[in-house]
Amino acid sequence: MNTLLFKDIDQSALEQCGALIRQGELVCFPTETVYGLGANALDADAVAKIFKTKNRPADNPLIAHISDFEMIEQVASSIPEEMKELTELFWPGPLTIVLPRKKELPNIVSAGLDTVAVRCPDHPIATALIRAAGVPIVAPSANLSGRPSPTCLSHCQEDLTGKIAAIIDGGECSIGLESTVLLPLGNHRVKILRPGGITVDMLKNVGFDVEVDPAVLNPVKEGQKVSSPGMLHRHYAPKAPLFIVCGEYETVCNAILNTMDEETWVLAFDEYLDRFPRAISFGSKSDPLSQSQALFRALREFDHLPCKKIYAMEPSESGMGLAVRNRLLRAASFQMVDAERL
């Protein structure tokens, strides 16, 4: 299939992409978090193409993206008043809310669940595309299943060229990690199923009690029931095995330097980058947003290098760090090593 590429997209090209969505085709588009692989949420056959193209497990539901609050009625049957408060504060933005599903919505969107995840992205191209299509757009991250999510055009091309109708270039994604997924629990309580740009503190500061699902930082045991099917699947993994090295940063650097060979690479904070013969930037140790912008790009870069093993420095859990840590743990299949034992 010939994949159209739109750079510097204008209104007439957006209309063309909106029409492709309405015709049941897939269009890859930028958001502030990561690139999404979009299809008409109301067209079951179009949604099925997403699962096939990504090789996505059929039990993993999709997020419905809307451009305007009113569009929510097309996907969700209701929204609790207190969730409206959150949408007023954080939409458009990196916040996805799990709501009761509208029964007319194709089953495949929710992978058979009676809920639907909804988000209003904060990106002019995403908003314009949804408006041009005139329908809600379901969009998982635009990677092949298991690979790191794409944060720029070349990542999308790597995974999707020849497989979908069009890719829209929007430059670099400003956050670089996927949205926060929230499950409302009632009485101003919410559970974070996936951490992202809307942090625990941001939610607490506006009067919500926040619970972080244990699966965010711990491996799910066999047979354990999960709140979000995405927690079960292997994610973000580079080809080489990745180990998170724990301990005081100075000790970590020395331990890695003493152990690494020619085929070992390091995911290192900028402050320590020049200590290693082979390393890729993991942003600054004190700036989780810079880590979030660096992580997926770095994980993809390792695959293009003669790299047999990766050691990563350990991010903190505070603020946006929780999201960074969650993705890194999954990329490492939860393999953590103490620097003293390396």
Q: Which residues bind ligand TXA (CB under 6 A)?
A: 31, 33-34, 36, 60-63, 94, 96, 98, 110, 113, 115-117, 119, 121, 139-141, 178-179, 181, 193-194, 228-230
Contact 328, 295 (CB under 8 A): yes
CB of 297 to ligand TXA, least distance (A): 16
DSSP 304: T
Return the amino acid letter for 334: F
Question: Phi and psi (nearest 5°) for 239?
Answer: -70, -40
Q: Which does 332 bind (CB under 5 to 8 A by kind): ligand TXA, Mg ion, none?
A: none
Compare residues 194 and 297 and give the one whose CB is closer to ligand TXA: 194
Q: Which does 93 bind (CB under 5 to 8 A by kind): ligand TXA, Mg ion, none?
A: none
DSSP β-ladder status, 189-194 and 180-186: antiparallel
DSSP alpha helix (H) spans, 41-146: 44-54, 81-90, 124-133
The residue nearest Mg ion at its CB is 141
Contact 265, 281 (CB under 8 A): no
The residue nearest ligand TXA at its CB is 230
Q: Which does 67 bind (CB under 5 to 8 A by kind): ligand TXA, Mg ion, none?
A: none
Where does this chain touch Mg ion (CB under 5 A) — which range of 55-63, 70-78, 120-128, 133-141? Answer: 133-141
Compare residues 67 and 228 and give the one whose CB is closer to Mg ion: 228
Compare residues 32 and 314 and give the one whose CB is closer to Mg ion: 32
Q: Which does 127 bind (CB under 5 to 8 A by kind): Mg ion, ligand TXA, none?
A: none
Retrieve residue 278's tokens: 């082979």
CB of 82 to ligand TXA, least distance (A): 18
CB of 129 to ligand TXA, least distance (A): 12
CB of 36 to Mg ion, least distance (A): 9
- Tell me whether the omega of the peptide bond preceding residue 277 falls within 30 degrees of 0, making it cis: no
CA 258 to CA 245: how far, in whole Å?
13
Residue 231 falls in which region: left (phi positive, over 0), alpha (psi -120 to 50) or beta: alpha
Retrieve residue 35's tokens: 């690139």
Residue among 31, 141, 174, 290 that touches Mg ion (CB under 5 A): 141
Contact 118, 66 (CB under 8 A): yes
Cβ neighbours of 127 (radius 10 Å): 18
Q: Which does 181 bind (CB under 5 to 8 A by kind): Mg ion, ligand TXA, none?
A: ligand TXA
CB of 117 to ligand TXA, least distance (A): 3
Q: Does 199 bind Mg ion (CB under 5 A)?
A: no
CB of 249 to ligand TXA, least distance (A): 30
Q: Does 180 bind Mg ion (CB under 5 A)?
A: no
Question: Phi and psi (nearest 5°) for 164?
Answer: -135, 170
In the stretch 93-132, what mask flags binding to Mg ion with x, by CB under 5 A?
A: ----------------------------------------
DSSP alpha helix (H) spans, the chain: 11-22, 44-54, 81-90, 124-133, 153-160, 200-205, 249-259, 288-302, 321-331
Q: Which does 63 bind (CB under 5 to 8 A by kind): Mg ion, ligand TXA, none?
A: ligand TXA
CA 180 to CA 216: how far, in whole Å?
11
Binding residues (CB under 5 A) for Mg ion: these are 141
